[in-house]
Structure 1
């Protein structure tokens, strides 16, 4: 056992002799802070790298790597490369969650962060279509697939690093912290892209300025690896390892005994992931199409992401009192109601209304379900397959509608003569699917995470 692991359970002689000493409620505050910091910082770095591609796909990758006679077609090809990574995320989730459920969350998170950092740095060095022709989009897409593979394993591990260290009465708050890491990453990505856009002329930005945010990621990855190296393995994993209860093949165990929870996870992910990428990626290209400058569009998303961070923490804390399902349902209903007003506000050609529209949708409403999603998922699986269960359901849901969401929205806009109503309807349909799925989930706020009686289908909303 490493020094970090030893420190995590060294809370006194009495606890050392007590089998319950590995429970999260007995972990000292210093160890918890390290775990939360490692979860949040690592998550922020991974999502910075991942979202940066989406930002640049909406701004420069079309003409630089996917040139076409029709600019919209080139844009759609760039967004398709963005969406393609979502198809490999479930594979990454399966591969890395197997490692995470077998040998530990910490080791897996170091692997995923390293792969993400190398692939992002490689994108910053990529020659464009004018230099190497068809190899440019091919190599760019391959690096994007590596990003997807890494993120497929990162999200579940980062979430569990926070949730499995949390006291039972604050699990919603702790689970919201790695989710804010994603927002920090998005905000940082937009901030560096916006900064490069402000520093360089348009010609310089299109030539080499866009590369700077990708190359800077190597510094963030180094910071993330350094912080995560000091974090101990989670109490839940140490408990099943000490009791020799690790699943032999976690994927088979999950699909055999917990497939209903996987279906609930997939469905609940629909609204969260589709609305997220509509706001974070598609809204950039849509705002520019409406005549707003690139800087204004980037700043709108940046401001909304910064607003969303404290909102998510508040929502996570509220869910510890009223439950995850109620919080999620309230947010879903608000988002379905807001879908049409969001696009209407953007179409008023007002910078103030544009920023306000994105803040309301992305900064206030989205966190109402985005903050509680991870904790709700983690509470749906026992510790021996928890990494696999949350990763599999989360990444499949993201692959079905999350990655394709900007592409679907762009296609709907083109197909229906620039009308935003079909896009709003798409968001509403995702909302209905998620609300139905949440109805079958089991809200376990205030209960022990590692209940000796693991959640079953009869405990997930159906009658015995």
Structure 2
């Protein structure tokens, strides 16, 4: 289990490094370089628009790779998705600016971002199933949380490289070529991840499906027909996590540097420190999910997001790094309470024959609902002189919707389900 958990963590770390480095670049430099004819605000909005394309393509990647995972196995998904995302990321670093090739530059950027999202859409489902389907039943949330630590590691790597370059280069050098280095650097960890994953075994549950002839020929069709309500509820429930995470990691970065005049290094440092705390807290939250259930953890995290959004925006608007860190870290701890357990929760909501498709599509649809437009909406809503209360209202509204969706989903943790059955006086299943 330690080797499998390491493989799933490394893979998601590499994939999310690729995804996040684009978001950081969009917040810092892509607007002026690829949309120079726009005003500064419009250029940032356009850069975040290309950022959103990666979320739009993620559900398509989930459909394609989910089909492969349910028909051919979880292992091929892990290999191909990582190769695709790594190649697209390196290519982003090679795209000439608008000044060199004109409108072709943002068009190429858009296409490569689409491919990034396509690969990442397949990565998550394969990684959590690799860990979860090998894990002991009563420790499944813990072991399936290791792929959920990967995004934190990837974010820290992406922003660490950006922070080092930002601090070590002049602004002109950073805007000229320095921002490209993190994209080129994606090649080595991607190759290491592919090497590590090449020796992994297929999961026991998929091997059993293959041996007994239990695989479905059309997993997406079966999910839509039999589980459409659950699919929509999971997408709505998880959208708050994406909205909160990208608000504090992407929009707040642009807001702090462009509107408040906070130094780029200070802003990156605040966000990175908060993400490190979130990553460290993830396995502890997962242990609580194994003990008390997945749904209670999700409800608690979602409720915390709802009440924290207005204080968070006020603290961010102060422009003081310590208070900005407090604003971000509390939001990310609420996020961790939910997303630490979803690696076990989402797959448990679906039967093994359609598990890769159902879990991956629900997870990535949430990315479209909560993550794709959040930087754009938040940037547009923060144009006034005072604190951007419109951003707080938007995030709190998403949190309320997600809270309602979580309330309508069932519990899946074995111990919690058995305890609920005993409390209701129901007989044990035969």
**TM-score bucket (shorter structure):** over 0.9
1:421 matched to which residue of 2? 389
Tell me the CA shift for residue 358 of structure 1.
1.6
Contact 1:172/1:372 (8 A) holds in 2: yes
Contact 1:168/1:448 (8 A) holds in 2: no
Tell me the CA shift for residue 448 of structure 1.
12
1:254 matched to which residue of 2? 223
Matched, 1:409 2:378: yes
Q: 2:67 aligns with which of 84, 98, 109?
A: 98
Contact 2:141/2:286 (8 A) holds in 1: yes
Deviations 1:86-135 (A, max 9, x none): 11111111011101110011111100000001000001111101111111
Comparing 268-277 and 437-446, the one that deviates more: 437-446
1:45 matched to which residue of 2? 14
2:426 matched to which residue of 1? none
* 1: CA distance, partners of 2:304 / 2:72: 41
1:196 matched to which residue of 2? 165
Q: 2:297 aligns with which of 317, 322, 327?
A: 327
* 2: CA distance, partners of 1:434 / 1:366: 12
1:148 matched to which residue of 2? 117
Deviations 1:364-395 (A, max 9, x none): 22211121223211110011100100111111
Q: 1:339 aligns with which of 309, 321, 326?
A: 309
Q: 2:175 aligns with which of 206, 210, 215?
A: 206
Tell me the CA shift for residue 217 of structure 1.
0.6
1:352 matched to which residue of 2? 322
1:267 matched to which residue of 2? 236
1:374 matched to which residue of 2? 343
2:147 matched to which residue of 1? 178
Corresponding residue SS for 2:414? coil
Contact 2:317/2:387 (8 A) holds in 1: no
Instruction: Report the aligned-residue RMSD.
Output: 1.4
Tell me the CA shift for residue 345 of structure 1.
1.1
* 1: CA distance, partners of 2:84 / 2:315: 40
2:200 matched to which residue of 1? 231
TM-score normalised by structure 2 residue count: 0.94
Matches within 5 A, 1:66-105: 66-105=35-74
1:443 matched to which residue of 2? 411
Q: Structure 1 regions of 5+ residues with no counterpart? A: 1-31, 450-464
Q: 1:281 aligns with which of 250, 253, 257?
A: 250
* 2: CA distance, partners of 1:202 / 1:316: 42
Aligned residue pair count = 416
* 2: CA distance, partners of 1:35 / 1:102: 21
Matched, 1:309 2:279: yes
Tell me the CA shift for residue 68 of structure 1.
2.9
* 1: CA distance, partners of 2:218 / 2:188: 36
* 2: CA distance, partners of 1:296 / 1:334: 26
TM-score normalised by structure 1 residue count: 0.87
Corresponding residue SS for 1:91? helix
* 2: CA distance, partners of 1:92 / 1:407: 23
* 2: CA distance, partners of 1:107 / 1:275: 32
Contact 1:34/1:230 (8 A) holds in 2: no
Corresponding residue SS for 1:210? helix
